[in-house]
Every structure is written in structure tokens, then in C-alpha cells.
Amino acid sequence: MSEEKQVIIQMKGIRKSFYIGQPHELEILHGIGLSVRKGEFVSIVGASGSGKSTLMNIIGALDRPTSGEYILDGVDISKAGDGELSGIRNRKIGFVFQTFNLIPRTSALKNVELPMLYSGTSKSLRTARAKELLEIVEMGERMSHQPSELSGGQKQRVAIARAMANDPAIILADEPTGALDSETGRLVMDLFHKLHREQGKTIVLITHNQELALETERILTLRDGNFISDEKGGQV
Amino acid sequence: MDFIENIRLAVTGLLSNKMRALLTMLGIIIGIAAVITIVTLGDAITSTVSSTMEEMGGKNITVLLEEKNPEVVLPGMSQTLGVSMGFDIMGNMAESDLISDEMIGQLWDRYGDEIQALSMIEQVGNGKAQDGRAYSNLSVSGVNEDYEKSESLTLLEGRFINDRDIDRAVNVAVISDKTAEAIFGQADKALAQEIKVHMDTEIQTYTVVGIYEYEELVMPMTTQVAEEDVRTAFYIPLSTARKQTGAPDGCKSFTLMAKQNIQPSELADKVENFFDVYYRDNVNYRCSAASMDTIIEQMDDIMGTVSVAIAVIAGISLLVGGIGVMNIMLVSITERTREIGTRKALGATNGNIRIQFVVEAVIICLIGGIIGIILGILCGVFGSSVLGYPAFPGIGIILIAVTFSMLIGVFFGYYPANKAARMDPIEALRYE
Ligand SMILES: Nc1ncnc2c1ncn2[C@@H]1O[C@H](COP(=O)(O)OP(=O)(O)OP(=O)(O)O)[C@@H](O)[C@H]1O
Ligand SMILES: [Mg+2]
């Protein structure tokens, strides 16, 4: 991994706490430092409740840290307003969820078009791009299907195509294979490898599956709101 | 984000749950339908009544004696209307209270150049002309010469009652073509013939001097009688009538017809002021003069009051409908919390989410409004034909209904939409 490569995620002393009733304030992240370079494929592992999703929300500009500094692709997230965060999520981040979160009663094609709709892409361009992406995830045959007519693995492939819609800098996937059997999980994982390899996408993957984590370039282990290790992964 | 996309989204959403959408719209549908129906019926009634009144004499002024302290006053309607429609609601009055011939003579002297005609009528009662098996129902009235002009009667044969008849109080009559045909077989054969009229207690014989064309009054909601039983007016000289009834000289009311270039309501005011001099000291009665256009104005006033009442009722039902829409929008937003979270994660701004749900509420109300309009048109057209004067709602009220239902959508959709817009994306995504 080349040292010259541009840093895309830069976190310093990120803390996150939640208010749970008046006197208590529950701190989940205790000063996380993290730096991810462009084109890296990183996995985050850790026990349930260790704060992986909380951290992912902050990386994805869905949430602001209680304190600390976070610069995403040159933008200071800790100081951005709501509207600015929407724009960042729209153009710089592609989310892939454990539960797919496709919009119901809306065709695969329309689902993939959605981020482009919010970014103001013209109708013809977004349809063309959505079709191209669905071809890449091998869902070209099922473009007009609604989510209720798709299997879990197919849904996740559509969701990945949707995450790619605005050609984001980073793809964030929170347990994308968690709801799939190992075989379909394998297919989804292969898709991430393909995007990483062929399109040079930066990917941050949260997983409970040690084997899948080992396939990534870098494995970060979270325990009780702190990184306890940052190791180089197996071969890609 | 595209507007069309929002509309498409809203419509697919509604189609996926048709029953719920319909129930949600029900308040709006009923409200709008009620407004359109009632406005259509109201229009039909007003225009028919106005044109009937116009037919009865738009230039006419009714002058009549009124009690100074009436016990019952119909709201918004003076006794004028009742009398002009042929009901005598005055009680017994002394001869000294009546409008005397001298007063009328002086009125002529003063305002003669503004008056086209001054007609008087004295009801004698109902009677029946009979000749063998042939008969004709009559309503016998004593009239003066001007009566012909003020009622715009069309004379087919002969002449009308004139001043000489009145001076001599002779038994001559002007009869309708209906009566003439019934008794003499043919209208033109009746002239100069004698006709016997059976009244309650006596039989009078008249010489027919004229025949007028009977015109059916288009009066709403009158009971239909058989063709041959129709009661037509039978005119005799005023003096002859008074002789028969024993009524004193002078009258309780008469009708003035203003000249072409004279404003009837202005002349009515002058006439009222003129008679005020005579009746200032009378404890029981005063003289009022009202033109048909005042009556039409009063009619419009009543319709105006009715319209306000309708507007209030419609407003309440639309308010209830709007609250229904708001309620269902809140339910829908809760159900779609995850979707809202997902959209926000994909980059939707608060504004994008807000507009999506406002559009959805507007579409619900608009569809409801359109169904309501169609229903209202059907009810209005059907109802007005049943009442006897088919009418179609104006384009104006339809446009107002469309605009108004959309405004309801914006108004009642805004709160739920704003609630959706301000959801925290993470909490929305975690929502089970
Ligand atoms: N909004 C919140 N309010 C209070 N506590 C919260 C909130 N969100 C998360 N937590 C707490 O923060 C901790 C970390 O949660 P998080 O979802 O980040 O865990 P995780 O590592 O993703 O776990 P899993 O592997 O099970 O998904 C948990 O103890 C959770 O209860
Ligand atoms: Mg998690």
C-alpha cells in the first residue's frame, strides 16, 4: 500500500455518548483515532455492542461525534450543518445495510436511481447509469422487479448498485452478509472485491465473520469503544 | 428532486392501499360533494325564482297598507311578497284607514309623469262559469283600466275593462281564452255573449267584452291540476266588484308601473314618502311601497344567508376531512419510518422528505376533491331536475373546489410532512 495515497477518512479523538435518562450519560466511543486511505478495503470487527455501528454512523455522516475531529475527503464533518451532511451522504458515501433497506413497492431500477434523484441528475442520465450498475451487480434481468419479488442476495446486490449510484468516495457496509446464508454472502463479498479491484473503491466493512475480515487489506478490532488492534489482512 | 417523481411516488403509495386511501378521502369527498350539490341547487332555485319575479313584472311597484306593529315578521321577507303573490294577510280595517280615490288622484297629479300605469284589484272570490255540462273555474277580480298594462296581459279579442265601465259599474267581463273555449267552443265566438258565473251564494250574468291569452305561471312546486280544472282570472270592473262584495271605496293595495326611464326603487321611495303624510297620524297602519327589484334583493339576501350557512357546514366537514388526512399521514409516516431513514442515508434533505409527504397529502385531497366534484355534479344535476329546473354547476365553483382541496392537502399535510422531515436518520433506520 503506497504511502502517497490520499487520506480519505481522518479521525482524531472521536467520542460519542448517549443520554439515557437525566443523570446518566453513556459513552460508547472513547476517543477513536482512525485514518483510511483512498482505495483501501478495511474491515472492522468486534463483539456485539462494542460500538461498531455507532462508529459507522459517524463515518457515514449520519451522526455527529460528541467531540473529536473528523475530516472526510477534505470536509470537516464535525462542523457541517444538516443540509451539508445530506449532500455529503449523497455524493461521498454509499451505504449498504444488513437489512438491505430497499424502498418497498419501488422497482430495482427506481431504487438505484434514488440517490441520483436527490443529487439532481437528469432522468435520462440516471436511468442509463442505474441500468449500467444493475448490469455490474448482475441484476440486469431483474430491473423492473420490486423488492418483495427478490431474494435476500438479490436485494443486497441491488442495494450495492444503489450505493454506487453517485460514484461515492467510500462504500460503508454494516454487516452486509449478516442476513444471508454463507453461499449468497460469498457472492456479495465477491462483489465488494470486484468493486475494490476494478473501480478502486474505498470500502469499510463491518462484519462478525472472521474469515471475511481476513480477506480484507486491513482489520481493525474494536473493544468497548477503543481500537485494540490494527492488523494487515490476508491476501485479497 | 423531480416533482413528477413525487407525484408518481404518491400515486403508487395510494394504489397500494386503495381501501385506506378511499376511507381517508371520504371526509373531503363528502364535503366537496355537498358544497357542489347545494350550490347547484341554490343557483337553480335563485335564478328560477328571479326570472319568475321578473316575469311577474320587474317594473312594478306594490303599494300596500301595513300594520305599524306587526305581530309576526318573516325574517328577511316583508309582507310585500305575500301580498304580491296573492295572499291577503291583513285583518279587518276601517274604511278611514284605506287608501282613498282622492289620495290616488293626488298621487297622479304629483308623479303622473313618472307612472306608466296604476292598477287596482279587488278580489271577489272563486266562481264557476257554467253552460250545460261545459264549465270553467274562475277567480273573479274587479280591476281598473291600467291593470292590463301592469300585468302585461295579451288581449286576443275585444277590449279590456275601461273607465266608462267603471263609472257605470256595469256587468261586463274580460275572460281568458281557456274559459272562452270551454264555454263557447271557440275564443272568437265569445265576444258580446252573455256568460253566467256561479258564485257561493249568487249567480251573476256578464257580457263578454274581451278575451285575453291565459299564460301559465311557471311557479315552482305547485301541485298540478287537470287541464280543464285550471282556474283562470275573470276580470270585471272595479266598481262592479265593490258593489258585489259591499267593500267600501278605497283600497288596501294597488300596483304602480314605473315609466321606462324611471328607476322603480326610486319611485317606490317617493310614493312611500307621499303616503307618509296621510298616514303619519294613523295609529294602526302605514303605507309601504316596494318594487319587484327590492323583493328580488330580499330574495338574494335570503340566499346569501343560506349560502353562509352552507359554507359553515361545508367548512366543518372539510375540516374533519382534513384532520382525517392528517391522521392517516401521521400513520403512514410512522409505518414508513425506515424508508424515511433510508432516504436520508441516501442523501435526501429535510426539504426533499417534506415535499414528498406534502405532495402525497395534496394528491389524496385532490383525488378526494375530484371524486367529490363528480359526485356533487351528479347530485346537483339530478336534484335540480327533480325540483323541476335542471342546472349544471358553474366552472367557477369547480375550480374553487379543486383549489380548495389542494389547499387542505397543503395545510393538513404540512405538519406530518415536517415531522417526517425532522426525523433523526439513525433513529429512523433503527426503527422496528
Ligand atoms: N441511541 C442510543 N441510545 C442509547 N444507547 C445506544 C444508542 N445507540 C447505541 N447505543 C448503545 O451503544 C452501544 C453500541 O452499539 P452499536 O450498535 O454501535 O454496537 P455494535 O458494535 O454495532 O453491535 P452489533 O455487532 O450487535 O451490531 C450499545 O450498547 C448500544 O446499546
Ligand atoms: Mg451493529
| Residue nearest atom 25 in ligand 1 by C-alpha distance | A48
Q: What pLDDT is recorded for position B224?
A: 62
- Give the nearest chain A residue to B6 (CA atoms): A117
- Give the nearest chain A residue to B344 (CA atoms): A86
| Ligand 1 atom with minimal separation from the A52 CA | 21
Low-confidence ranges of chain B (pLDDT < 70): 1, 53-58, 70-93, 217-225
Contact B12 A106 (CB under 8 A): yes
Q: What pLDDT is recorded for position A142?
A: 95
Q: b/e map of A81-96 (b: 16 or more CB within 10 Å)?
A: eeeebbbbbbbbbbbb
Q: What predicted TM-score, i.e. pTM, was given to this entire model?
A: 0.73
**For residue B55, how far is its CA from the centre of ligand 2 (angstroms)?**
85
DSSP string covering B418-431? HHHHTS-HHHHHH-
Give phi and psi for B152, each to the nearest 5.
Answer: 45, 50
| Ligand 1 atom with minimal separation from the A54 CA | 18
Q: Is the ipTM of this complex over 0.90?
A: yes
Query: How close does chain B come to A94, measured CA to CA in Å?
Result: 7
> Which ligand has the shortest distance to the CA of A55?
1
A50 pocket-lining for ligand 1 (C-beta < 6 Å):
yes
Q: How many Cβ atoms are within 10 Å of B397's Cβ, its own excluded? A: 17
Cell of B24: 381517508
| Residue nearest atom 3 in ligand 1 by C-alpha distance | A18
Contact B347 A91 (CB under 8 A): yes
Contact A119 B352 (CB under 8 A): no
Where does residue A58 rank: exposed (0-12), middle (13-18), buried (19+ CB within 10 A)? buried
Low-confidence ranges of chain A (pLDDT < 50): 1-3, 236
Q: Which pLDDT tens digit goes with each residue over A137-167?
A: 999 999 999 999 999 999 999 999 999 999 9
| Residue numbers in B near A175 (CB within 8 A) | none
Contact B426 A63 (CB under 8 A): yes
Give phi and psi for B251, each to the nearest 5.
Answer: -140, 160
Q: Is A152 on the interface with B (CB under 8 A)?
A: no
Alpha carbon distance B11, B119 (integer Å): 68
Q: Which residues on neighbouring strands pair with residue B210, listed in sequence order? A: B158, B174
Residue in the structure block whose three cell numbers are 475494490: A196
Residues A72-78: contacts with CB within 8 Å, 24+ apart?
Answer: A72/A8, A72/A9, A72/A10, A72/A169, A72/A170, A73/A8, A73/A169, A73/A170
